[in-house]
Amino acid sequence: MSKYAIVIHAGAETVKPETVGPEKEKKYKEGLKQALQAGYEILERGGSAMDAVEAAVKSMEDFPLFNAGKGANLNEQGDPMFDAAIMDGKELKAGAVCSIHHVKHPITLARAVMEESKHVLLSGEGAEEFAKDQGLEMEDSAYFITEEREKKWKEKQEEELTGQHDTVGAVAVDKNGNVAAATSTGGLAYMHKGRVGDSPIIGGGTYAHNAYCAVSCTGEGEPIMKGVLAHEVCARIKYAGNSLQQACSEAVKVDDDKLQGDKGIIAVSPTGEVAIAFNTNQMKRAYRVEGEEPFVAVWKGDNT
């Protein structure tokens, strides 16, 4: 029996638990719960998977502890820079943006690219000009920069900063069995100006197909991009007959000798099956399936 469902993530990283602490962990869970509820409410009242994933990601873009939108990482120049993508599994339509600086909700711009342009991916100034044409909310750089991110940038401790590569994302299936995926990120801390990660790459960090599943990835963008991990999940279901969970678990390990790095995957099937896989000790994640209680977790091994 098919059910509607939504799964979200806010980053997968290998971190020392003592660097997080109970207070920040509590805030992480609050942010996850808010985003999960924003998306689930839409599904519950019969809304589309596309609307649900956009709403969930927008909520996380507004949450200052997650690396997307407000509170995102800063690049070498101390500037926030965003990538995002969204994909509709019913029509295989997709929209993505990269290297943008002033759009309040990058995921909404990605959807506008999908629905209001003939292209899939827009970048930089062109993407921001398109955002203005669409009447989307814009902000000065100061809006996105939090005290915590600015402090870490000023310290320029590259060894510490390199580990900060969390991303936010959502996948959902609605009452009609349509799936969608959305991913948004501020990229790597202290990254080179112009660097683009896996999130806006269709098939890399984001993919959806009604015949198989919807997928959003998180972790280190370079190995995820080279492994084409979001599409790898679909391919394993299509060609190898994997279950959704098996496909995610195997995708995380693809060419692991060459594609080393932190990786996390969330996925949902057209029937409401949920899957999560990661190779880190922390993955901020949550999901809710029709008729069930929500699940929210931060650390590997968390059951609640």
167 is a catalytic site residue:
yes
> Which position among 19, 162, 167, 271 bears the catalytic label?
167
- How many CB atoms lie under 10 A from the CB of residue 283? 27
Active site residues: 167
